[in-house]
Amino acid sequence: MTEYKIMIVDDHKMFRSGLRFLLNNVPKIEIVGEASNGKEFLEMAENTQIDIVLMDINMPEMNGIEATREALKRYPDMKVIVLSMHGEEEYYDQMLDAGVKGFLLKNSDADELISALEAVMAGKSYFSQELLVDILDQKRLQKLKIETVKLSQRELEVLKLICDGYSNAEIAEELFISQRTVDRHRSNLLSKTSCKNSTSLVMYAVKNKIIEVE
């Protein structure tokens, strides 16, 4: 596991302290700072090297959505993982648009947190399984009509592998096709679904029950 420089952004000091204690016991992880809101985080980021931000959504002065959007404009290589609570599903689309790479519930255990960090630093997306179930339940509750599009069998295969965190090169190897062909399928998927990135594609697949969530 490569060493990661982590920033924790949350307005509850007790939660930050607990998360720091948890991560301090994990090899190859360095906590480089804590911030209680988005504004404080952006000020600290000016003089701090950060690989991954563990970002709360609802905070005073500047929320996680605005902070993520601004941070990724300034530091496009920075990765952001959302720390969410039950009931915050309404903000997920906005966080996706802002450019986050993963979603974790605040009650996630250490193993899942480490899995999320490793996945995101490897260029993949990460979604807490429990959180995906929450999203589906929320959609059922609201009885939203989800606009479906016609995807080819190959596009569905590519989409499912994207949801499993495969890179384009790994998808090409798995399906015995060229990486250029995978690039074309990914481009078609983004166009057909009006998604902006792979993370949005995962959310689309969940909402349309293309992938199974237990």
For 24-33, 70-79, 119-128, which range has the lowest pLDDT when averaged over its residues?
A: 119-128
At 142 the pLDDT is: 41
Would you say residue 57 has pLDDT above 60?
A: yes
Q: Is the pLDDT of residue 25 over 50?
A: yes
Q: Which of the two residues, 176 and 150, has the higher pLDDT score?
A: 176
Across the chain, what does the average pLDDT equal? Answer: 84
Assign 146 a pLDDT band (cuts: 50, 70, 90): very low
* Integer Cα distance of 61 and 124 in angstroms: 31
* From 15-24, 32-41, 159-168, the region with the lowest mean pLDDT: 159-168
For the record, the structure tokens of 158 come out as 């590519």
- Residue 101: which pLDDT band, with cuts at 50, 70 and 90? confident
> Buried b vs exposed e over 148-179: b needs ≥16 C-beta within 10 Å?
eeebeeebebbbebbbebbbbeebbeebebee
- At 103, the pLDDT band (50, 70, 90 cuts) reads confident
Mean pLDDT value of segment 112-141: 74
Residues 199, 204, 207, 213: is their CA dihedral positive or negative? negative
Task: Look at residue 145 in the predicted model and tell me its pLDDT.
Answer: 42
Cα separation of 186 and 171, whole Å? 10
Query: Considering the entire predicted model, what is its pTM?
Result: 0.70
Residue 123's SS3 state is coil
